[in-house]
Structure 1
Amino acid sequence: MTGYTAQTTLAKSISLSGVGVHSGKMTHLTLKPAPQNHGIKFRRVDLPGTQDIQALFKLVVDTSLATVLGTNGAIVSTIEHLMAGFSGLGIDNALVEIDDYEIPIMDGSAKIFTQMMEAAGIVLLDAPKQYFIVKKTIELVEDDKFVSVRPCPCFKITCSIDFPHPLIGKQEITFDREKDNFERDISRARTFGFIKDLELLKRFSLGKGGSLDNAIVIDEDRILNEEGLRYPDEFVRHKLLDSLGDFSLLGMPIKGHIITHKSGHALNHSFIETFLKNKDAWETGPAA
């Protein structure tokens, strides 16, 4: 079969280590090539005999602080930045081996994951890439927040945010996978938080690995990181990065235009549930 967009995987294995933002524990991670139709799977090597955890929405068990997947007693947490790297680079198949439950936070973005994936190389497999091809608009509204998807011949995602803070305010950005460069334009955008919220997390023994090395920390009127921002609109770029990670849990890329406004993990996951129920609004298969 020829004339199709092929599935992809890594050309070779790559390993890295880092601290979990909530656990504060050092975790070792190895990303390995995988065959066609394998998808992205996580393997807890510290729990021998447990089932691999597929990166699918149906296995999401918690979204309160980060996205957590689980099956048969094994969980893997804080997957969104790594999954955004796979999605942003269009990698369909990989096995992720991890020796604890939390993916390392690294620098708070997908930069290091993305650079390592690109250094390993991406290869084509002898099978067509499968898509969700959107035929009708689907929308989920919650108060002043919403997520929607509409038909589009390519994959685009538009995110907008509106924070009542002088350093953030209203921001919007669109990423088109066919035209834009994920590594340059999105992957380096770091997670962000307000210092009062970080202090509260640590008081409840969460956020143990959080620091100025892996997050943008904001006070009432200033950014505490000495180096400042990597992009003028880094906040909305990180929201888009998170959304890429969330929507990757559909298990296949989308041919459509996703639009989010003031969304977060919980609303994105509610939208995925709505999307999957509306089977008349999409079809699956290789791209035309």
Structure 2
Amino acid sequence: MVRKQRTIKKKFSYTGVGLHTGEDVTITCKPLAVNQGIKFKRVDLPDQPELEATVENVYSTNRCTTLGTAKWQINTVEHLLAALNALRIDNLLIEIDANEPPITDGSAKVFYNLLQEAGIEKQKEEVTVYQFDQPLYVTEGKHYLTILPCDQFKVSYTFVSKHQGLTDQFAELVISEEEFKKQISSARTFGFADEIEKLQQAGLALGGSLDNAILIADDGPVNQLRFSNEIARHKILDIVGDMKLAPEFRGHIIAVRSGHKLNFKLAKRIKRLITEEALLC
């Protein structure tokens, strides 16, 4: 199947704290013409390098999805990419003056709302949406990701916890614009109290707080959850963001214990399969 490409009607800027640096960072999102893709531009660097948000440009999947090269990177792009994927935005320039977007409240809600407020504009050219006719899967130990044929974009996630303060969680949702907004966009990232000191000593999570993350202590979440299965929902949010790095498709993703590393492997397989076999709906 095909649909019209989309961009935003007007540019906007947003300033907030970076999760890992703890410093203010500003992003400015601008409309782009057809067939340009989602591009990040580091305006704080002398030559203002830019790259497209595609699976080929993933630099690291350690605790977040990082795009870039050995010389420069942009970390924690998955929340913004999740909002772009849910809104089916194909062409956008994201100017950023640091090495990570603002963490906002730890979810995709702020980005989703800003993009909606900027307005979504259909463009003249079309984009192909691919359809799987057979299962596809990647695994690593007890971590699993599978895509089954489906005429919708659907994600099921099973969060299996070894932490004494958490129980296993499950969530399953069709990723439409409205369902993403209501059920997924506000699900926040999370971290464990016993890891905070080690992370900060390594120069990470310097901007983390109860305002932008769920903190898990020995006896469970410190802050009030927005959903009883908010962790599983945030894992779905991450999958939606990481799948923006692959060509658009329809299918049912079933995930067990997966994270950014496995999401990246699946996105690579999707891109390779579509490129090699041209799976056209």
Distance 1:139 1:160 in 2: 16
- The CA deviation at 1:168 is 3.3
What CA deviation, in whole Å up to 9, does each residue of 1:136-175 have, x standing for no partner?
Answer: 2111122221001121112111111111335532222222
The change in CA–CA distance for 1:110 and 1:197 in structure 2 (over 3 A counts) is same
Is structure 2 residue 67 aligned with structure 1 residue 69? yes
Mapping of residues 2-81 of structure 1, within 5 Å: 5-71=3-69, 73-81=71-79
The change in CA–CA distance for 1:59 and 1:118 in structure 2 (over 3 A counts) is same
Aligned-partner residue type, residue 235 of structure 1: I
Is structure 2 residue 129 aligned with structure 1 residue 134? no
Are 2:107 and 2:185, in contact at CA under 8 Å, matched by a contact in 1? yes
What CA deviation, in whole Å up to 9, does each residue of 1:55-76 have, x standing for no partner?
Answer: 0111111111221111473321
Is structure 2 residue 112 aligned with structure 1 residue 117? no
Aligned-partner residue type, residue 226 of structure 2: R
SS in 2 for 1:163: coil
- The CA deviation at 1:280 is 8.8
Q: Which residue of 1 aligns with 2:213?
A: 215
SS in 2 for 1:92: coil
- The CA deviation at 1:99 is 0.9
The aligned length equals: 281
Distance 1:204 1:72 in 2: 19
Structure 1 gap segments, 5+ residues each: none
- The CA deviation at 1:281 is 8.7
Q: Which moved more, 1:214-223 or 1:271-280?
A: 271-280
Distance 1:59 1:159 in 2: 26
TM-score by length of 2: 0.93
Are 1:156 and 1:258, in contact at CA under 8 Å, matched by a contact in 2? yes
- The CA deviation at 1:275 is 3.1
Q: Which residue of 2 aligns with 1:229?
A: 225
Is structure 2 residue 178 aligned with structure 1 residue 183? no
What CA deviation, in whole Å up to 9, does each residue of 1:4-24 have, x standing for no partner?
Answer: 521111111111011111111
SS in 2 for 1:169: coil
Computed over aligned residues only, the root mean square deviation of the Cα atoms, in angstroms, reads: 2.0
Find runs of 4+ consecutive structure 1 residues off by over 4 angstroms.
279-282
Are 2:166 and 2:220, in contact at CA under 8 Å, matched by a contact in 1? no
Distance 1:277 1:125 in 2: 27
Which one of 79, 82, 88 corresponds to residue 80 of structure 2? 82
Are 2:59 and 2:66, in contact at CA under 8 Å, matched by a contact in 1? yes
Distance 1:170 1:282 in 2: 38
Identity over aligned pairs, percent: 37
Aligned-partner residue type, residue 129 of structure 1: V
The change in CA–CA distance for 1:278 and 1:130 in structure 2 (over 3 A counts) is closer
Aligned-partner residue type, residue 238 of structure 2: D
Distance 1:280 1:215 in 2: 37
Structure 2 gap segments, 5+ residues each: none
- The CA deviation at 1:199 is 2.1
Which one of 152, 155, 164 corresponds to residue 153 of structure 2? 155
Distance 2:5 2:273 in 1: 26
